[in-house]
Amino acid sequence: MNIMPTEFDGVLVVEPGRFGDGRGFFSETYNRRQWAEAGIDADFVQDNQSLSAARGTVRGMHWQAPPHAQAKLIRVTRGAILDVVVDIRRGSPTFGRHLAVELSAENWRQLFIPAGFAHGFCTLTENVEAIYKVDAYYAPEAEGGFLWNDPALGIAWPVAAEAAALSAKDRALPAFGAARIPDFTQGGRERR
């Protein structure tokens, strides 16, 4: 397993090994011991899976507020996505900046996102299956988000706004500057 840091403190690109032969392949996609040796202390408690049928489906930008803040490990088992995170940790030198990483069944990369980042993705193919491990249970009362294509963020999404497939909930999210972003330094579980 290759774990690569990014310019954002705590956000990691992970490349699990994949061993194949004529029958297919085998991959160890998560190993708690290896994560601990790398200094990552996330204790995953829930696995989520989504299927997005249409190319150009956008899910995001979302977070859960402390004390229900979530770290996530995202991977794609079918198709491809542009996975995007925005740093929402006030006081962080990268606050309000974003990182975009292509995750696909072909490149087999994963993205580890600590608490304090808004997360979303856009499907690059049809019939995309994404799996995310999270280290806090879903808490609807702690949900937050902002508009995925707010021009203030400068995210180069691979789909035009009028062509994006979005939920009504995501269409109604406020702009980044109007979002009620919580304080991730108070009342949340400490994470690396």
- Name the residues annotated as catalytic: 62, 132
3-state secondary structure of 19: strand
Residues 6 or more apart from 25 whose CB is under 8 A from it? 18, 19
Q: How far apart are CA 50 and CA 36, in angstroms?
A: 27
Residues 6 or more apart from 29 whose CB is under 8 A from it? 16, 75, 110
Q: How far apart are CA 87 and CA 63, in angstroms?
A: 11
Q: How far apart are CA 146 and CA 144, in angstroms?
A: 7
Residues 6 or more apart from 107 whose CB is under 8 A from it? none
Whose tokens are 């995925």? That residue is 148
- Residues 161/169, Cβ–Cβ less than 8 Å: no
